[in-house]
Amino acid sequence: MVGFGAKPRGTLQLETLMNQVMSSYKTGNEELDRWIGEMAELCRPAGVHVCDGSDREYGELAAQLVREGKATALNEAMRPHSLWFHSDAEDVARVEECTFICSRREEDAGPTNHWVEPGEMKRKLGGLFSGCMEGRTMYVVPYCMGPLGSPFSIVGVEITDSAYVVLNMKWMTRMGKEALKQLGNGAFSAGMHSVGAPLKQGQKDVRWPCHVKERCIVHFPEERSVWSYGSGYGGNALLGKKCLALRLASVMGKEEGWLAEHMLILGLTSPEGEKKYIAAAFPSACGKTNLAMLTPTLPGWKVECVGDDIAWIRVGDDGRLWAVNPEAGYFGVAPGTSMKTNPNAMRTIAKNTIFTNVALTGEGDVWWEGMDGSPPEKMISWLGKVWKPSDGPAAHPNSRFTVSAKQNPIYDPMANDPKGVPLSAIIFGGRRNGVVPLVYESFSWQHGVFLGASVSSESTAAAKGEVGKLRHDPFAMLPFCGYHMGDYFAHWLEMGKKTSADKLPKIYYVNWFQKDAEGKFLWPGFGENSRVLKWIFERTSDKAPAKKTAIGSIPTSLDLSGLEILTEKLTALFSIDREAWLKECDEIKNYFKVFSSRMPSELLRELDELIRRLH
User: Min. distance of Cβ 309 from ligand OXD in angstroms?
Assistant: 5
> Applying CB under 6 A, what is the total number of residues that bind ligand OXD?
6
**Closer residue to ligand OXD (CB): 235 or 505:** 235
User: Min. distance of Cβ 182 from ligand OXD in angstroms?
Assistant: 24
414: left (phi over 0), alpha (psi -120 to 50) or beta: alpha
Q: 293, exposed or middle or buried, with CB in 10 Å at 0-12, 13-18, 19+?
A: buried
Tell me, residue by residue from 421 to 460, as one string, x for binding to ligand OXD by CB under 6 A and - for no binding: ----------------------------------------
Q: Output the CA torsion 107→109→115→116 (10° steps).
A: -70
**Closer residue to ligand OXD (CB): 11 or 460:** 460
Say how far apart CA 231 and CA 243 lie, in whole Å.
14
309 near Mn ion (CB under 5 A): yes
The closest residue (CB) to Mn ion is: 309
User: Min. distance of Cβ 545 from ligand OXD in angstroms?
Assistant: 35
Could you tell me which residues come within 8 angstroms of residue 309 by beta carbon, excluding any fewer than 6 positions away? 241, 262, 263, 264, 288, 289, 325, 327, 330, 331
Say how far apart CA 321 and CA 82 lie, in whole Å.
38
302: helix, coil or strand?
A: strand
462 binds, among Mn ion, ligand OXD, none (CB under 5 to 8 A by kind): ligand OXD
Radius of gyration for the alpha carbons in the chain, expressed in angstroms and rounded: 24
Q: Please identify which residue in 294, 462, 495, 610 interacts with ligand OXD, judged by CB under 6 A.
A: 462
Tell me, residue by residue from 229 to 248, as one string, x for binding to ligand OXD by CB under 6 A and - for no binding: ------x-------------
**Closer residue to ligand OXD (CB): 188 or 331:** 331
Say how far apart CA 364 and CA 374 lie, in whole Å.
16
User: Min. distance of Cβ 367 from ligand OXD in angstroms?
Assistant: 21
Let me know if 286 is a catalytic residue.
Answer: yes
235 binds, among Mn ion, ligand OXD, none (CB under 5 to 8 A by kind): ligand OXD
**Closer residue to ligand OXD (CB): 235 or 486:** 235
**Closer residue to ligand OXD (CB): 336 or 364:** 336
User: Min. distance of Cβ 288 from ligand OXD in angstroms?
Assistant: 8
218: helix, coil or strand?
A: strand
**Closer residue to ligand OXD (CB): 86 or 94:** 94
The stretch near Mn ion (CB under 5 A) out of 47-55, 180-188, 280-288, 370-378 is: 280-288
**Contact between residue 247 and residue 218 where contact means Cβ atoms under 8 Å apart:** no
Say how far apart CA 355 and CA 32 lie, in whole Å.
32
* Amino acid identity for residue 377 in this structure: E
**Closer residue to Mn ion (CB): 93 or 439:** 93
User: Min. distance of Cβ 340 from ligand OXD in angstroms?
Assistant: 22
Could you tell me which residues come within 8 angstroms of residue 38 by beta carbon, excluding any fewer than 6 positions away? none
Other residues' Cβ atoms within 10 Å of the Cβ of residue 126:
11
User: Min. distance of Cβ 522 from ligand OXD in angstroms?
Assistant: 25
168 near ligand OXD (CB under 6 A): no
The closest residue (CB) to ligand OXD is: 284
Largest CA distance in the chain: 76
Say how far apart CA 293 and CA 264 lie, in whole Å.
10
Say how far apart CA 273 and CA 475 lie, in whole Å.
31
User: Min. distance of Cβ 284 from Mn ion in angstroms?
Assistant: 5
3-state secondary structure 480-538: CCCCCHHHHHHHHHHHHHCCCHHHCCEEEEECCCCECCCCCECCCCHHHHHHHHHHHHH
Q: Output the CA torsion 473→478→480→481 (10° steps).
A: 120
User: Min. distance of Cβ 426 from ligand OXD in angstroms?
Assistant: 18
11 near Mn ion (CB under 5 A): no
110 binds, among Mn ion, ligand OXD, none (CB under 5 to 8 A by kind): none
**Closer residue to ligand OXD (CB): 440 or 512:** 512
Integer CA distances (angstroms), 243 to 193, 235, 314, in order = 11, 8, 20
309 near ligand OXD (CB under 6 A): yes
Question: Buried b vs exposed e over 352-366: b needs ≥16 C-beta within 10 Å?
Answer: bbbbbbbbbbeebbb
369 binds, among Mn ion, ligand OXD, none (CB under 5 to 8 A by kind): none
Could you tell me which residues come within 8 angstroms of residue 274 by beta carbon, excluding any fewer than 6 positions away? none
**Closer residue to ligand OXD (CB): 238 or 599:** 238
584 near Mn ion (CB under 5 A): no
User: Min. distance of Cβ 370 from ligand OXD in angstroms?
Assistant: 18
What number of helices (H) and strands (E) belong to the chain? 17, 29
Q: Which of these is catalytic: 98, 286, 305, 481?
A: 286
**Contact between residue 140 and residue 51 where contact means Cβ atoms under 8 Å apart:** yes
331 near ligand OXD (CB under 6 A): yes
Q: Please identify which residue in 70, 81, 94, 539 interacts with ligand OXD, judged by CB under 6 A.
A: 94
**Contact between residue 63 and residue 52 where contact means Cβ atoms under 8 Å apart:** no
The stretch near Mn ion (CB under 5 A) out of 102-110, 175-183, 276-284, 514-522 is: 276-284
Tell me, residue by residue from 462 to 501, as one string, x for binding to Mn ion by CB under 5 A and - for no binding: ----------------------------------------
Binders of Mn ion among residues 59 to 78 (CB under 5 A) are none
**Closer residue to Mn ion (CB): 145 or 490:** 145
**Contact between residue 306 and residue 421 where contact means Cβ atoms under 8 Å apart:** yes
Q: Please identify which residue in 29, 182, 231, 284 interacts with ligand OXD, judged by CB under 6 A.
A: 284
Q: Please identify which residue in 284, 290, 341, 416 interacts with Mn ion, judged by CB under 5 A.
A: 284
Binders of Mn ion among residues 236 to 255 (CB under 5 A) are none
Instruction: Read off the DSSP letter of residue 552.
Output: S
Interface ranges with ligand OXD (CB under 6 A):
94, 235, 284, 309, 331, 462
Residues annotated as catalytic (active site), given as ranges: 286
Interface ranges with Mn ion (CB under 5 A):
284, 309
